[in-house]
Structure 1
Amino acid sequence: MDLFKNVELLLSKTKDVKPKQKILLAVSTGVDSMVMLDIFLKSNYNFDVSIAYVNHHLREQSEKEKEFIIEYCKKKNLNLYIKDWPKQFHPDTGIEEAARNIRYNFFADVLLENQIDLLLTAHHKDDQAETFLMKAIRSGNLEELKAIEQIRQFKTKKIFRPFLNFRKQSLRNYAKKNQLIWFEDESNYENDFFRNRIRNNYMKEFELENSKVVDHFANISNQVQEMNLLKRNLLKPLIEKIKIKQNDSCLTGDLNKLLKQDELIQKELLKSFFKEFSFSKNLVVNQINEVIKLLNNNLKPQGLINLGNGFYFEKSYEFFAFKNNIFTEKKGQIQKNSMVVLNHWMTTDEGQSFGVFEPNQLPINEDCQQIKISKTDLTLPLFIRKGLPNDTIQLSNGGHQKLKRILINKKVKSEVRNKITALVDSKNDVLYFFNLKAKQPLHNLFGDYYILLIR
């Protein structure tokens, strides 16, 4: 059965897709989206098709692509909605995420303004496998490995991805057979972005070992998604029993009822509560272990753990709670902004990438500055926050030096001084002032250390 017939069969099984429905196709002029456009224009469902196109201005040929899609839609008498994202609005770092946010905010606006209920994107099985591998490398969190969903809620509308069960090569074969015109994004062959390195290097190496690896990764992603759904259904009665109340700033639960569960169930319940409260964020292993340790410490009836990004976990006698934005910034007050997750890359507010790694967990082939941090007298978890003028850091002679003196000695400009980031432990002991000075150990480390990587 060819690709067109397979897609038509899928449509017949998808309850959210109906004949003559108004649909919005996200088209980039690449082969994937041009195949999707061709199939849905030919579909026996006689869809009312509109096109959304974003010109990111990231490469020279983008203007030619824009002209092409304009002419294409004129010939086919299709509604076309265009978003331009000029270079002067591009961020210095995190451009992939920023571009994605621009696209999907634009798509949401078009759907809402034109009363279209369904957005289609051309993600395929290769994308599914690449995303799985990216998440496995970046997060180490099982729940992050869930599949891209074929159809899901998108604000008040829905996103449908009809190609998730098909390999990219099948899309290319369709495009050639039907003599479609498309544009190749030359930047896809450059390894500046993480996804490109996954696609161009790692996945090709894996496929040399097993030609079915894309199918396997995609299948694992789907299994994780099914397991998450099963877990959610099994935990639902306990969640309803333990949760007391929830609003925008707090989710409160009954501590005694939570502690009656086995520790494994406690962990899963806490992850579910946090996911429900924080929507898109997950607790990572170090965080959940810190929370469990606090909950089961009978000598500490009260406690607070900073989970980063404005979220906190609080234990208070017979209750536990997830909260956000519970501190207001006051002059001179120490603000612990983000908890540092060991063995993971993170980013400061100033856009600098860093990570605190065990020596045996160091990333491969990363060209970075390395700083050893003694584990002696260090109390986990670690945090990053703004450096304060009276913060002090230990010197090699056992003395201490204030941040304001370091700034004076290094002749740091005044407009930069309030942007210094400090890495601290949970006792607020400064381990590193970014790009300025590291805490000096008073003894030989011999491997009893973490390694701070900065790139």
Structure 2
Amino acid sequence: MKDVEIFINKHELLQSNHRVVLAVSGGPDSLALFHYFLQIKAKYQLSLVIASVDHGLRGDESKQDLEYVKLLAENWGVPFCGTTVDVSSYKKETGMGTQEAAREMRYRFLAKVMEEVKADKLAFGHHGDDQAETMLMQVTRSAMPEAVHGMPVKRPFSCGEIIRPFLCLNKEQLLNYCTENHLKPRFDPSNEEDDYTRNAFRKQVLPFLKSLNPKLHQHMQGLSERFSQERSYIQEQAGQVLQIAEMAGGKGGFTQFSKTAFQKHPLALQRSAFHLILNYLYGNQIEEISYLHEEMFFHLLDEQKPNASLDFPKGLKVVRAYDEITFTFNPEPEKTAFEHTLYIGEQVSLPDGSTISLEAGGDPREQEGYEYVCDSHHVSLPLIVRNRKPGDRMILRGMNGSKKVKDIFIDQKIPAQLRGTWPVVTDHDGQILWLVGLKKGEGCTRNPSGTWLRLQYKK
């Protein structure tokens, strides 16, 4: 097991005086892990704790596995923490599959043990063949590089880290270790069935690949480590891409950025940034997100239509409005029609909280954008403030003929979702005087002969 010690030191999995929880089921991999850590305990000055879970899926047989591990721990003088969980009931509660439910309950218990004993590490007996199976399954299920990573050698968990010191070995080496050290592991008969996808890979795919490359486990572990290193770098660079974005709310929140600025970066960074956004908004990227969603997103960026949207799982909506891209869980507000009568000396409030006021007299000069001045003799009072209507047209200052309000919105690149509630000011006869903040109509300044009227818009 010299390879394991080299692997531990290379990845800095252990330090002196660490308290390590060993996840032991009684099978050959975890039994070898238990025995191996007893051999290195003195060298590293480790404190060991055994944790074991009966998932309640094999009746008395799995209970006996738990009792067997407990007896070994007692015989070898190591503290033991064990439990029995009801995976079947949890499956019904959550709708999870058997393996997913068992894993969640197992990890929940192991986290609790770590916290109770104040452990630094949680060690698993996963080996290189497990790693190869995991990566092959990931490749089969997903075309996204982010999904192909294998099991990490170490990762944060509970109050410490998960470590996998046996990823440098294959299954045969662990079985030989058990034989050489007179260990008597218990075997789970479900591992011999083809019902679960992993078992099918284990029994049918891996033997063929190992016949081509006997060191497949080393090859796949090296690949996993390189993937991890390169992904870390790319994600770091993708994080720089997202400096252009407004991100708020974390899980369930929203993200907004400029399409033009986003597309200036290489496609590989755009892809990684896309997945960082999803991880941010979902808490962690969910299984329902697939390669197809990625393709849909990049098609949305390149689409000729200035306004478009996508529906992603769990209510996430991706909206393109000209150059603005928004990811949000918030449903679009209802397009509420409004129409207010506006008299001199009064103001009206709009659905978004902004106001428009009307005053008489004063300087005929007006500020650009949010002020409009007209002559009272050329308009009919009171004025009307409303949202747009189909067929709206207006005569623009300095223009002969009229122009559709719809075309003005398109020219000004106003997002489609904003057009329905954009304020329009007309006189009492329906003449459009002002498309607020965008365009001003005639309604006034040729040969003024009446009182000046001043409209002001405030956000």
> TM-score under structure 1 normalisation?
0.65
Partners of 2:36 and 2:196 lie apart in 1 by 30
Q: Which stretch shows the higher mean deviation, 91-100 or 233-242?
A: 233-242
Per the TM alignment, residue 118 of structure 1 is displaced from its structure 2 partner at its CA by 1.3
Partners of 2:136 and 2:45 lie apart in 1 by 37
Counterpart amino acid of residue 49 in structure 2? S
Per the TM alignment, residue 7 of structure 1 is displaced from its structure 2 partner at its CA by 2.9
Task: Determine the structure 2 residue equivalent to 1:356.
Answer: none
Task: Determine the structure 2 residue equivalent to 1:386.
Answer: none
Counterpart amino acid of residue 243 in structure 2? E
- Among candidates 12, 32, 37, match of residue 35 of structure 1: 32
Task: Determine the structure 2 residue equivalent to 1:163.
Answer: 166
What is the correspondence of 1:351-390 to structure 2 with a 5 Å cutoff? none
* 2:4–2:168 CA contact under 8 A, matched in 1: no
Counterpart amino acid of residue 77 in structure 1? G
Partners of 1:238 and 1:90 lie apart in 2 by 41
Q: Is 1:313 aligned with 2:318?
A: yes
Partners of 2:79 and 2:317 lie apart in 1 by 47
Task: Determine the structure 1 residue equivalent to 2:291.
Answer: 285
- Among candidates 294, 300, 304, match of residue 300 of structure 2: 294
Partners of 1:228 and 1:56 lie apart in 2 by 35
* 1:294–1:300 CA contact under 8 A, matched in 2: no
Change (3 A) 1:262 1:175: closer
Change (3 A) 1:306 1:47: same
Per the TM alignment, residue 146 of structure 1 is displaced from its structure 2 partner at its CA by 0.8
* 1:305–1:312 CA contact under 8 A, matched in 2: yes
2:44 counterpart SS class: coil
* 2:241–2:265 CA contact under 8 A, matched in 1: no
Per the TM alignment, residue 323 of structure 1 is displaced from its structure 2 partner at its CA by 3.0
Task: Determine the structure 2 residue equivalent to 1:341.
Answer: none
Per the TM alignment, residue 279 of structure 1 is displaced from its structure 2 partner at its CA by 4.2
What is the correspondence of 1:209-288 to structure 2 with a 5 Å cutoff? 209-255=212-258, 256-281=260-285, 283-288=289-294
1:203 counterpart SS class: helix
Q: Is 1:191 aligned with 2:197?
A: no
Partners of 1:25 and 1:324 lie apart in 2 by 41
Task: Determine the structure 2 residue equivalent to 1:71.
Answer: 71
Counterpart amino acid of residue 285 in structure 1? Y
The answer for unaligned runs of 5 or more in structure 1 is 329-455
Q: Please list the CA deviations of residues 257-307 of structure 1 after superposition, one character each: whole Å capped at 9, or x if unmatched.
A: 213335554333222322343343165322122122223335333x43222
Partners of 1:149 and 1:180 lie apart in 2 by 28
1:320 counterpart SS class: strand
Counterpart amino acid of residue 39 in structure 2? K
Task: Determine the structure 1 residue equivalent to 2:437.
Answer: none
Percent identity of equivalent pairs:
25
Counterpart amino acid of residue 51 in structure 1? I
Partners of 1:327 and 1:99 lie apart in 2 by 39
Per the TM alignment, residue 68 of structure 1 is displaced from its structure 2 partner at its CA by 1.2
Partners of 1:180 and 1:199 lie apart in 2 by 23
Task: Determine the structure 2 residue equivalent to 1:52.
Answer: 51
1:205 counterpart SS class: helix
Partners of 1:150 and 1:42 lie apart in 2 by 21
Task: Determine the structure 2 residue equivalent to 1:357.
Answer: none
Per the TM alignment, residue 56 of structure 1 is displaced from its structure 2 partner at its CA by 1.2
Cα RMSD of the aligned pairs, angstroms, is 2.5
Task: Determine the structure 2 residue equivalent to 1:62.
Answer: 62
Task: Determine the structure 2 residue equivalent to 1:112.
Answer: 115
Change (3 A) 1:77 1:213: closer
Task: Determine the structure 2 residue equivalent to 1:86.
Answer: 86
* 2:13–2:165 CA contact under 8 A, matched in 1: no
Per the TM alignment, residue 46 of structure 1 is displaced from its structure 2 partner at its CA by 2.5
Q: Please list the CA deviations of residues 42-84 of structure 1 after superposition, one character each: whole Å capped at 9, or x if unmatched.
A: 2111311111100012224212212211211222232211121
Counterpart amino acid of residue 269 in structure 1? A
Change (3 A) 1:88 1:231: closer
Counterpart amino acid of residue 30 in structure 1? G
Partners of 1:113 and 1:310 lie apart in 2 by 38
* 1:314–1:321 CA contact under 8 A, matched in 2: yes
Counterpart amino acid of residue 167 in structure 1? N
Task: Determine the structure 2 residue equivalent to 1:19.
Answer: 16
Partners of 1:163 and 1:178 lie apart in 2 by 17
Counterpart amino acid of residue 113 in structure 1? E
What is the correspondence of 1:400-415 to structure 2 with a 5 Å cutoff? none
2:214 counterpart SS class: coil
Partners of 2:48 and 2:55 lie apart in 1 by 23
Counterpart amino acid of residue 305 in structure 2? L
Moved over 6 A (4+): none
Per the TM alignment, residue 156 of structure 1 is displaced from its structure 2 partner at its CA by 4.1
2:312 counterpart SS class: strand
The answer for unaligned runs of 5 or more in structure 2 is 334-459
Partners of 1:18 and 1:218 lie apart in 2 by 23
Partners of 1:244 and 1:192 lie apart in 2 by 43
Counterpart amino acid of residue 312 in structure 1? K
Change (3 A) 1:131 1:14: closer
* 1:126–1:214 CA contact under 8 A, matched in 2: yes
Change (3 A) 1:327 1:79: farther
1:61 counterpart SS class: helix
Change (3 A) 1:77 1:285: same
| Aligned residue pairs, count | 324
Change (3 A) 1:14 1:140: closer
Partners of 2:62 and 2:84 lie apart in 1 by 10
Partners of 1:191 and 1:40 lie apart in 2 by 32
